[in-house]
Chains A and B, each alone.
Chain A
Amino acid sequence: MKLASAEAPPLSGRKLPESHVGDQAFKGLTFGMALAVFGLVILVGYELANGSRLALHQFGWHFLTSTDWDPVQEQFGALPFIFGTLASSVIALFIAVPLSLGTAIFLSELAPLWVQQVLTFFIELLAAVPSVILGLWGIFVMVPWLREHPFPWLRQVFGFLPLFSGPIYGVSLLAGGIIIAIMIVPIITSVSREILRSVPGLEREAAFALGATRWEVTRVAVLSHAKRGLFGAVILGLGRALGETMAVTMVIGNRPEIAKSLFAPSYTLASAVANEFAEATTNLYLSALFELGLVLLGVTVLVNALARLLLKTVAEPAFQ
């Protein structure tokens, strides 16, 4: 055997050591996997657009403004679903936003540390409850209770408003809104809490040093600083609300009508797809359901992108 060291080629002319090949390969691998998210974005958009081609061609823009939903006559319009989705989400925000912001303020500013830790844990647990279980509880516990107690009371007191008139079935737009509110409270609360916690401690200390009470510190130093981020948290909650499916499907009544009353059954984009997709008999019917999905996707992507942009500008500096 020859002495290898004596004949080693000069450094400059040597082939790349093996480890560099490994480096390149590993970098390429992780790069490819990271690009998968763009692949998924394109895939989602393409499949939904492709699936709804038939309905797009048949109904055009009229699909968005028509209130007919008649699978037998093959007449399809999305307006009742768009209305149901928006109305139930707005109701949910009405209930969830004050409660979540109050909770976030309590947890980050006012409560003692151990209370914060315990309660935060429970709120995270609420976020983990599967939608279908909440729906089960909704059907068998919440809806009967709403039908017996709060709804008749509301009709008695506010019955002169069209919102609170009409027959009471239990399953209703309002019940759907309430169940969505329960589902989005944890996310709005935990994001808002993060935002409030990211306000620099010096701002608080300065306000305390001026003799402010805890609430004044929160209002002057913390909330004014976090306004934009809190708005982002609410928009993120809206994004979740629009796409909620199972629990809403189980309590909203699933009737494609635009009613004035909150007690009337309604239908959302997501629950229409969940209920009717597996039994869609004709191509046009299936395609119309795909188009409902496309509308839902468009709205949620816009809302989520907005929320992320609002939150990004707040959260990013903390990393760098």
Chain B
Amino acid sequence: MSLKTGLPLPAPPGSPEAKAETLGRAGVGIDSKQESYHRWRNVKNGLVQAVTCLCTLAVLLPLALVFNHVLKSGLSAVNLTFFTGLPKPVGEPGGGMANAIVGTFELLGLAALLGVPVGVCGGIFLAEYGSTKLNWWIRFAADVLNGVPSIIWGMVVYALVVVPRKGFSAWAGGIVLGMIIVPLIMRTSEEMLRLVPQGYREAALALGISQWRTLVQIVLRTALRGITTGILLALARVAGETAPLLFTAFGNRFWNHSLNDPIAALPLQIFSYAISPYEDWHRQAWAGALVLLVLVALVNVSVRLLTRERSNRGRLPL
């Protein structure tokens, strides 16, 4: 050992060790211990690849099973009356979920009406104004809100809207979904606005355009596609929400004629049919699940295909 570096000194020339070393360096005769170590490293590498690959397959297995079963059971139960008819009373076969399908879209419309302006404006503030510290807190609060279980929102709106107005209503359902999408849309809008190059803002301001018109007509317009994507994904997510609607929109077996009355929604209907004891209702539940799954998957697939080239730059917050 050399005293200074702590590294082994090269073997004196002519000794057997020196010979092995030169051969090893030339890659001709690596000594067998080293060789088996190399092999072990490669085997380990292969093993890890195999194990992680299996993990991935195991993760995707439920997806395949769920899709397979929903398609199989749903397709055999879905027919034209399903889209046009109202639910039939217990014991009468047939009927459909037309009211629930329309109801889901009504609720999404209300949610978008209430949640989108707040979310997008909040996103503009986060991306364009404010101080680092304040924005950190706003972002943090939005992220924490994103993690609040959806059933809790249902309780909040129950106390806030249902109790004072003495009844379940479409409004309550729309408000609860609107509250859920606010933090989601705020974060995606912010991310999308950040992707707009700074030069656009500078160029517009240099032309004498006022700041707010720069933001609305240039920055917002540039990011519009990304923001729309975020809004659609948020709506697709709440389209399948059941828990917060249980005691706000409540569900309805007939058409809803006023936003002050309870309203049916596809996930609610699927839930109540799934836990019912009737065979025919189970079939209807599968048909409803098929419609809902196709709807949600379609939005997700098309949005991701349309914005694929952006996905590497703009990370959608979770």
Partners in one complex: yes
Measured CB to CB, the residues of A under 8 A from B are 19-20, 22-23, 25-27, 29-38, 40-41, 43-44, 47-48, 50-51, 98-103, 105-107, 110-111, 119, 121-126, 128-137, 139-141, 182, 185-187, 189-191, 194, 213-216, 218, 236, 239-240, 242-246, 250, 270, 273-274, 277-278, 289-290, 293, 296-297, 300-301, 303-305, 307-308, 312, 319
Contact A293 B151 (CB under 8 A): yes
Given known A-B contacts A30-B121, A122-B63, A213 and B55 have beta carbons under 8 A apart: no
| The one of B42, B56, B152, B241 that contacts A103, using a Cβ cutoff of 8 Å | B56
For B224-245 the 0/1 string (1 means CB < 8 A from A) is 0000000000001101111100
Most B CB atoms within 10 A — which of A44, A48, A101, A132?
A132
B221 sits at the interface (CB 8 A): no
**Complex: chain B residue closest to A141, CB-CB:** B69
Alpha-carbon gap, A319 to B193, bound state (A): 13
Alpha-carbon gap, A50 to B160, bound state (A): 11
Contact B213 A37 (CB under 8 A): no
Contacts of A246 in B (CB 8 A): 242-243, 267, 271
Contacts of B315 in A (CB 8 A): 194
Contact A277 B155 (CB under 8 A): yes
Given known A-B contacts A30-B122, A41-B145, A47-B160, A245 and B150 have beta carbons under 8 A apart: yes
Smallest CB separation, A183 vs chain B (Å): 9
Alpha-carbon gap, A31 to B138, bound state (A): 10
Contact B60 A304 (CB under 8 A): no
Contacts of A30 in B (CB 8 A): 121-122, 124-125, 128-129
Contact B59 A37 (CB under 8 A): no
Alpha-carbon gap, A214 to B60, bound state (A): 24
Contacts of A106 in B (CB 8 A): 49, 52-53, 55-56
Contacts of B155 in A (CB 8 A): 47-48, 51, 273, 277, 289-290, 293
Contact A215 B246 (CB under 8 A): no
Given known A-B contacts A37-B122, A136-B285, A20 and B210 have beta carbons under 8 A apart: yes
For B282-305 the 0/1 string (1 means CB < 8 A from A) is 100110010011001100110010
| The one of A29, A50, A218, A305 that contacts B159, using a Cβ cutoff of 8 Å | A50
Contact A270 B243 (CB under 8 A): yes
Contacts of B144 in A (CB 8 A): 41, 301, 304-305, 308
| The one of A102, A134, A190, A245 that contacts B243, using a Cβ cutoff of 8 Å | A245
Contact B149 A125 (CB under 8 A): no
Of the listed stretches B6-14, B79-87, B95-103, B178-186, chain A binds: B178-186
**Complex: chain B residue closest to A186, CB-CB:** B59
Alpha-carbon gap, A129 to B62, bound state (A): 11
Q: For chain B, residues 230 to 277, give those with C-beta under 8 angstroms from any C-beta of chain A.
A: 236-237, 239-243, 246-247, 250, 267, 270-271, 274-275
For B146-159 the 0/1 string (1 means CB < 8 A from A) is 11111111111011
Q: Can you list 14 A-B pairs with a CB-CB distance of less than 8 A? A: A22-B212, A34-B126, A37-B141, A44-B145, A102-B51, A122-B60, A128-B297, A133-B293, A186-B59, A215-B45, A243-B148, A245-B242, A297-B148, A307-B147
Given known A-B contacts A33-B125, A278-B246, A213 and B271 have beta carbons under 8 A apart: no
Given known A-B contacts A29-B121, A37-B122, A102-B52, A182 and B213 have beta carbons under 8 A apart: no
**Complex: chain A residue closest to B129, CB-CB:** A27
**Complex: chain B residue closest to A109, CB-CB:** B52
Contact A273 B151 (CB under 8 A): yes
Contacts of B285 in A (CB 8 A): 136
Contacts of A307 in B (CB 8 A): 147
Given known A-B contacts A19-B213, A293-B155, A300 and B292 have beta carbons under 8 A apart: no
Alpha-carbon gap, A214 to B241, bound state (A): 41
B66 sits at the interface (CB 8 A): yes
Give the secondary structure class of B's interface.
helix
| The one of A43, A191, A278 that contacts B160, using a Cβ cutoff of 8 Å | A43
Contact B152 A297 (CB under 8 A): yes
Contact A40 B286 (CB under 8 A): no
Contacts of A131 in B (CB 8 A): 240-243
Alpha-carbon gap, A6 to B188, bound state (A): 51
| The one of A33, A40, A126, A236 that contacts B63, using a Cβ cutoff of 8 Å | A126
Alpha-carbon gap, A100 to B59, bound state (A): 7
B118 sits at the interface (CB 8 A): yes
For B175-206 the 0/1 string (1 means CB < 8 A from A) is 00001001100100000001000000000000
Given known A-B contacts A22-B212, A137-B66, A305-B144, A51 and B293 have beta carbons under 8 A apart: no
Smallest CB separation, A121 vs chain B (Å): 6
Contacts of A133 in B (CB 8 A): 66, 70, 240, 270, 289, 292-293
**Complex: chain B residue closest to A51, CB-CB:** B159
Contact B138 A250 (CB under 8 A): no
B111 sits at the interface (CB 8 A): no
Contact B62 A27 (CB under 8 A): no
**Complex: chain A residue closest to B134, CB-CB:** A34
Smallest CB separation, B313 vs chain A (Å): 12
Q: Which 7 residue pairs of A and B lie closest in terms of their CB atoms, listed nearest first?
A: A130-B240, A243-B149, A102-B55, A19-B210, A304-B147, A33-B121, A26-B212
Alpha-carbon gap, A248 to B165, bound state (A): 31
Smallest CB separation, A215 vs chain B (Å): 4
B22 sits at the interface (CB 8 A): no
Contact B56 A119 (CB under 8 A): yes
Contact B121 A137 (CB under 8 A): no
Contact B210 A37 (CB under 8 A): no
Given known A-B contacts A30-B125, A128-B296, A240-B147, A47 and B159 have beta carbons under 8 A apart: yes
Alpha-carbon gap, A182 to B59, bound state (A): 8
Alpha-carbon gap, A36 to B155, bound state (A): 19
